[in-house]
Amino acid sequence: MTVRSVLLGLLGAVLICGCAFFNDRILKQTFLVGNNMPVSVYGALILFVLFLNPLMKRWALRGRELAVILAITLAACCIPAAGLLRCFTSSLILPHKYNQEKDGWRDQKVLELAPKQMLADISQNEDEVLTGFVQGMGKGDEHMPFGKIPWYGWTRTLLFWLPLILTIWAALVALSVVLHRQWSQHEHLPYPIATFTNALLPEKGRAGSGLFHSRLFWIGMLGVLIIHLNNFAHEWFPDYVIQVTRQIDLTALSPLVPTFIKGGGWSLLKPTIFFCVIGIVYFVPTDASLSFGLGPYVWAVIVGTFAGYGMDLNGAVEGTDAYTALTPRAFVLFGANVGVLVAILYTGRHYYSAVMRRSLGLRVKGGADRTGVWACRVFLVLMVLFVVQLVLVGLDWQLAVLYSAIAVLFFAVMARIIAETGLFYMQPYFFPCLVLWGLFGVGALGAKSLLIMQLVTMVLLIDPRETLMPFMTNSLKLLELRNVKLGRTASLCVLALILGLCIGLPITLYIQYDQGSTIWEGWAERSVPLMPFNNAVAVKHKLVAQGALESAEARSGWNRFGALAPNRTCMWAMGAGLGLVLLFAAARLRFTWWPLHPLMFVVWSTYPMRNFCGSFLLGWLAKILITKYGGSRLYNRLKPLMIGLIAGEVLGAIFPSIIGAVYYFVTGDMPKRFQILPG
């Protein structure tokens, strides 16, 4: 680790946090982050190693330095977009606006249930703090001065949220270090994205990667890049450039599968080809890729079958918004995640037990490395601090502990998925607040406690397409491959998070106050801020109808457990998800021929998997044919081609963003919208 690698890594964190919101909301190009393999970071790496690093000669960056730069930069990628700032500020201020518009909110006084420090303060100057945010304070072509951001309306809520956010993030960095040795050295997980990244880095004593001397790599990269640049040109010149379609239209088959269509399978008959997914699948076990490819189709058949009997597995059984209300789908996914966590803990039980015992000061013979032990201690201390912060805002400590435990499960399983399968775009579709809602029932929780947990979820977990722990998982493996000390780099990643927040938050607030509702999107401004309070209205209506509102709000601590009333539908769904994972895990261990992976049930009903399943099937088929007819020799020979497919898609996304930014700053006009990966 060198000083320049640390400084360049922090510079990367500053750039990604400073530019992403502008690119996503103003230029509306492919998101600079967008998922757990951000095109901005990996595109910059490819261009740097390919063109700039060789020109630096004796000052060229070594592979170890680039690994450190990537790790620090990637840690900050959880900040500027969906990981936090896409919804963060909007969720804290727009409830005040919707409260003025919605009679139901005012009648039930749901805004008063939220602790004051959890929302922005508009009491001092509503016109500037709230109206300025909604309408924008820029006038025509004249932008608002940066100093006019009304920080006085945000100070109180940021003093609550920023320590809470940094606490859980630092804890997740530590947990990533704890899990890494077991997954990498004991279980030998494939880490496909880290494998791809390591192949791009310079070899020892060289400024460029040996991969760049492979003709197959260039064929794959340039072929995909040309397709995307052609389609980008089509957006600008539709009369002169013919678009290359990436969709396969099988909708003519829909009359043959009415149950499948009834279960939401129409879009699955129009799969989109994502070349980066096909490339990653090449480095993934075939049972996992086949399972991911088949999963959404199987789910659609199941949903369609249940729909024939009048049961909607995707619809809300309690609450108003299917995304943050109780749904059978959410509990099927939660049960599956519990099953995966059980398998993780069982497989690594000896290592995790040794680390935990040593971290608590107990003697243990071997099995625990010093870095992992210290990381475990940091994780435990920070999680206690996180629980304390939740208690101080009004949550019972028992609920705070349970909420924190489910949140850790949420992030840990995501990290496991990316380490084992390379699935870089995923959303678990269950949340700790929903799980506790389904397990306890509203009579035991009360509307206020549920609202507090939903507000925390709205900030920390609502859109986990860009999440810290998967970033750290890939980074730690890359650092290990390049023989870099993990503990010190992990500490620098926490520094990058602090620096990224200091840069990204003011820039995001400035753009929002400058542009107002002209840059609003349906998700961050028109959906997320409504979810917790709409559910609170529904919960209060139910409690009032049952005559149980006062008793529910009066309960606290252990008394809540005496009033447990789990939702039966959700419990059956959770049991089904858990049972399927454990059954398939046992079958996979027992039968060598077993074709499906239990991770299928963690992702089969999610939006990201609906986008990627067609490409997973194509990648699986390609790998099967190559290994069957060409053997291991042809398989190894074609690895550069598959890495080229990934690199070509990354560059195909980053070049239009660069061109769009240049066009905007030169002309002042908005560039054509162009997105490759799902938005």
Domain hosting residue 512, numbered range = 3-142+152-187+191-244+348-566+638-667
Contact 269, 296 (CB under 8 A): no
Residue from 266, 329, 408, 233 nearest 576 by CA: 329
Residues 6+ apart with CB under 8 A from 213: none
- Report how far apart the first and last C-alpha atoms of the chain are (Å, whole number): 36
Instruction: List, in sequence order, every residue forming a beta bridge with 247; answer none if it has no partner.
Output: 272
Q: Would residue 360 count as lying in a domain?
A: yes
Q: Answer whether residue 579 is part of any domain.
A: no
In a domain, 287, yes or no: no
- Under 8 Å CB-to-CB from 607, ≥6 apart: which residues? 427, 429, 678
Distance CA 390, CA 150 (A): 27
Q: What's the mean per-residue pLDDT of the chain?
A: 92
What confidence score (pLDDT) does residue 17 get?
A: 94
**Mean pLDDT within 567-583:** 95
Percentage of the chain lying above the pLDDT 70 cut:
100
Give the pLDDT band (50/70/90) at residue 28.
confident
- Return the minimum-mean-pLDDT range out of 165-179, 204-218, 493-507: 204-218
User: With b meaning 16 or more CB within 10 Å and e meaning fewer, what string describes 272-285?
Assistant: bebbbbbbbbbbbb
Q: Is residue 355 part of a domain?
A: yes
How many domains does the chain fold into?
A: 1
- Lowest mean pLDDT, pick from 39-53, 354-368, 370-384, 529-543: 354-368
Alpha-carbon gap, residue 457 to 443, rounded angstroms: 20
Q: How confident is the model at residue 57 (pLDDT cuts 50, 70, 90)?
A: confident
Express each pLDDT in 408-465 by its tens digit: 999 999 999 999 999 999 999 899 999 999 999 999 999 999 999 999 999 999 989 9
Share of the chain above pLDDT 90, in %: 71
Q: How far is CA 445 from CA 31, 207, 564, in A?
A: 38, 59, 9
- Flag whether 662 is in a domain: yes
Tell me how far apart the alpha carbons of residues 255 and 13 are, in angstroms, rounded to a whole number.
51
Residue range 322-333: average pLDDT? 90
pLDDT at residue 208 is higher than 80:
no
The pLDDT of residue 89 is 95
pLDDT per residue as tens digits for the range 247-292: 998 988 889 999 999 998 999 999 999 999 999 999 999 999 999 9
Confidence band of 679 (pLDDT split at 50, 70, 90): low
- The arithmetic mean of pLDDT across residues 367-395, rounded, is 93
Residue ranges in 182-257 assigned as alpha helix (H): 192-200, 215-236
Residue 131 pLDDT class (50, 70, 90 cuts)? very high
- Whether 502 is covered by a domain: the verdict is yes
Integer CA distances (angstroms), 164 to 170, 351, 389, 390, in order: 10, 30, 7, 8
* pTM score: 0.93
In a domain, 261, yes or no: no
Residue 598 lies in a domain: no
Q: Which amino acid is at 449?
A: S
Examine the pLDDT at 501 and tell me if it is beyond 90. Answer: yes
Q: Number of helices and strands (H, E) in the chain?
A: 30, 0
Q: Mind giving me the DSSP string for 477-539?
A: HHHHHTT--HHHHHHHHHHHHHHHHHHHHHHHHHHHHHHGGGG--TTTTTTGGGHHHHHHHHH
Burial classification of residue 238, based on how many CB atoms lie within 10 Å of its CB (0-12 exposed, 13-18 middle, 19 or more buried)? exposed
Whether 378 contacts 357, CB under 8 Å: no
State the average pLDDT over residues 192-217.
87
